[in-house]
């Protein structure tokens, strides 16, 4: 039975790679494409080019290394076309478990030891939870409860890089690429995804993105709803106060002024807080204390103040609320559903963990723009196949390389590892 499962999976994998081959250009790229994707899914601590070459062609490691290195670092194939093909093949498998519910904006960091890799700078790196020397990529993923799939992915180019013509030229940064903030990059990705006609969902953002008024206004202008994490000093007014303020203003009097959402939350009575559970965890249901109320948010980028939900989490034992969201979800939405939607960002955090651990998203050791994005695109492609295979893999079986037998390594082979990364 296990052998039949593996044979069926290998057959589906061949069909999957054939689909990618149809958009990758020259026929001589088909072999490296297949081998690179296999290398990403085979067991191994490092998924950089050298150890993957040793695993996919142990009898001719040197020539395989050069072939894969050229394919990922130099090959002039389109990341956009490959990602479009991946979503064409994988989204139906995700949607069999329910409609797309969310568009999740996120970024992910890759610690680096050197200074020459494209876009590397001292900046916040989520992987280590502090400022560090790293690269950061911004992405947009489509998600439901079953899985998420990145549909847009681009390296953030810090301003010091964007304005350095010499470094740009050495790393092969496209000439027409100008500096953009991460929220600006995210809004571009959302616009492109809308233009592609993909299934719509609620845009979910953490405070690094949700606190940007331009981004929230841009999402609304595209006709999308959002549940955006925001910072505690964000200004708002309870909706009733907003109406009162308008009447008083017409009479020439004073009125309620915007306050920080933290102050609004702290002023609420004890009965305003409810314990809500939102999904089943590995051991028990996840739950916490929340309050919600309708507020008016002054956003100079959106014209008139908007009326939206303010959702606040205050776990028991904490001295003050810990998380805040603004949401343009319908006024009729249930309390539990509002919490559940805001918390659906866990999906991308889980899947990014798997992208890094299962298929080596952060293992690329080249320095150039093209190679960085080609490697990420192929990781997303490999991950997409694993997502589409989830329902065929027994719950007790390994997630990844059960699909492929372990290849023998050449005698004496020792990978150089992450120390080579710059």
pLDDT tens for each residue of 122-180: 998 888 888 899 999 999 999 999 999 999 999 999 999 999 999 999 999 999 999 99
Q: How many domains does the chain have?
A: 2
What is the band of 414 on the pLDDT scale with cuts at 50, 70, 90? low
Say how far apart CA 83 and CA 81 lie, in whole Å.
Answer: 6
Same domain? 298 vs 403: no
Closest C-alpha to 326, from 188, 233, 245? 233
pLDDT of 304: 67
Residue 419: predicted pLDDT = 39
* Residues 207-231: tens digit of each pLDDT: 999 999 999 999 999 999 999 999 9
Answer whether residue 305 shows pLDDT above 80: no
Answer yes or no: do 305 and 377 share one domain.
no
Query: Lowest-pLDDT range, 82-91, 163-172, 205-214, 413-422?
Result: 413-422
- What value does the mean pLDDT take over residues 105-129? 90
Shared domain check, 232 and 189: no
- pLDDT band at residue 421 using 50, 70 and 90 as cut-offs: very low
Check whether residue 17 and residue 102 sit in a common domain.
yes
For 307-324, the DSSP string reads EEEEEEE--TT-SS--EE
Statement to judge: residues 155 and 286 lie in one domain: no
106: its two tokens? 């996120």
Residues 112 and 195 placed together within one structural domain of the fold = yes
pLDDT digits (tens, 9 = 90+) for 366-395: 999 999 999 999 999 999 999 999 876 644
Q: Can you give 207-266 as a three-state secondary structure string?
A: HHHHCCHHHHHHHHHCCCCEEEEECCCCEEEEHHHHHHHHHHHHCCCCCCCCEEHHHHHH
Sign of the C-alpha dihedral computed for residues 182, 183, 188 and 194 taken in this order: positive
Task: Give the length of the chain.
Answer: 422
More confident residue, 27 or 105: 105
CA dihedral 184→187→193→195, nearest 10 degrees, is -100
Assigned domain for 218 exists = no
pLDDT in tens, 349-368: 888 999 999 999 999 999 99
Tokens of 415: 């990978």
Same domain, 231 and 200: no
Q: Are residues 203 and 230 in the same domain?
A: no
Helical H segments across 59-124, by residue range:
61-73, 79-95
pLDDT band per the 50, 70, 90 thresholds, residue 246? very low
Residue 415, pLDDT score: 52
Q: Give CA–CA dist 238/144, Å, rounded.
A: 32
Is 198 a member of any domain? yes
Is 244 among the domain residues? yes
142 and 169, same domain (yes or no): yes
User: Model confidence at 288, in pLDDT bands (50, 70, 90)?
Assistant: very high
Of 280, 363, 260, the closest CA to residue 321 belongs to: 260
Residues 139 and 167 in one domain: yes
Q: What is the pLDDT of residue 128?
A: 82
Final residue belonging to a domain, choices 283, 298, 328: 328
What local confidence, expressed as pLDDT, does residue 247 receive? 37
pLDDT category of residue 44 using cuts at 50, 70 and 90: confident
User: 271-279: long-range contacts (C-beta < 8 A, 24 or more apart)?
Assistant: 273/314, 274/335, 276/335, 276/336, 276/339, 277/336, 278/336, 278/339, 278/340, 278/343, 279/145, 279/340, 279/343, 279/346
Q: Are 255 and 317 within one domain?
A: yes
Q: Which domain holds residue 397?
A: 2-207+349-420
Question: For 316-326, how does the pLDDT look when each residue is reduced to its tens digit (9 = 90+)?
Answer: 999 999 999 99
d(CA 205, CA 228): 5
Q: Which of 223, 195, 232, 204 is nearest to 344 (CA)?
A: 204
């Amino acid at each position: 039975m296990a052998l039949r499962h593996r044979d069926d999976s290998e057959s589906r994998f061949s069909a999957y790679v054939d689909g990618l081959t149809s958009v990758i250009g020259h026929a001589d790229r088909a072999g490296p494409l297949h081998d690179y994707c296999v290398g990403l899914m085979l067991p191994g601590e490092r998924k950089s080019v050298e150890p993957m070459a040793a695993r996919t062609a142990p009898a001719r490691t040197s020539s395989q290394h050069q072939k894969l290195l050229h394919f990922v670092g130099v090959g002039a194939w389109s990341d956009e076309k490959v990602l479009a093909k991946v979503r064409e093949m994988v989204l139906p498998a995700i949607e069999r478990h329910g409609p797309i519910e969310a568009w999740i904006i996120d970024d992910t960091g890759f610690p680096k030891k050197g200074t020459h890799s494209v876009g590397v700078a001292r900046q916040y790196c989520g992987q280590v939870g502090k400022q560090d020397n790293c690269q950061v990529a911004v992405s947009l993923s489509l998600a439901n409860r079953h899985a998420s799939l990145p549909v847009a992915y681009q390296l953030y180019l810090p301003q010091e890089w964007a304005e350095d013509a010499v470094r740009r030229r050495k790393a092969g940064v496209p000439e027409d690429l100008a500096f953009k903030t991460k929220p600006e990059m995210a809004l571009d990705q959302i616009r492109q995804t809308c233009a592609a006609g993909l299934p719509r969902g609620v845009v979910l953002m953490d405070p690094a993105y949700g606190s940007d008024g331009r981004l929230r206004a841009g999402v609304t202008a595209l006709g999308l709803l959002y549940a955006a994490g925001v910072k505690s000093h964000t200004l708002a007014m309870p909706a009733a106060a907003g109406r009162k303020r308008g009447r008083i203003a017409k009479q020439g009097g004073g009125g309620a002024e915007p306050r920080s959402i933290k102050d609004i939350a702290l002023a609420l009575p004890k009965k305003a807080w409810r314990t809500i559970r939102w999904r089943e965890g590995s051991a028990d249901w996840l739950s916490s204390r929340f309050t919600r109320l309708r507020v008016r948010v002054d956003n100079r980028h959106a014209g008139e103040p908007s009326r939206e939900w303010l959702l606040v989490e205050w776990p028991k034992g904490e001295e003050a609320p810990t998380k805040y969201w603004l949401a343009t979800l319908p006024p009729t939405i249930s309390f539990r559903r509002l919490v559940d939607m805001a918390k659906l960002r866990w999906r991308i955090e889980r899947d990014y963990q798997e992208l890094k651990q299962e298929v080596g998203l952060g293992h690329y050791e080249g320095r150039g723009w093209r190679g960085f994005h080609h490697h990420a695109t192929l990781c997303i492609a490999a991950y997409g196949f694993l997502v589409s295979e989830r329902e065929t893999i027994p719950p007790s079986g390994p997630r990844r390389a059960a699909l492929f037998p372990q290849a023998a390594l050449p005698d004496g082979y020792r990978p150089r590892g992450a120390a080579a990364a710059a």
